[in-house]
Amino acid sequence: MIYILAFAVGSILGLVYSYKQHGEPFVAVTEFNMIYAVISILGWCLAFCSGNVVLSAIGFLLGGFVMGERPGYGRKETAVGLIIAIFMYLLLKFTV
Helix axes 53-67, 75-95, angle to 10 degrees: 150
Confidence of residue 28 (pLDDT cuts 50, 70, 90): low
What's the pLDDT at 43? 93
Dist CA 91 CA 84 (whole Å): 10
Q: From 84, 88, 8, 71, select the one nearest 40 (Cα to Cα).
A: 84
Q: For residues 27-36, b (16+ Cβ closer than 10 Å) or e, as one string?
A: eebeeebeeb
Residue 41 pLDDT > 70? yes
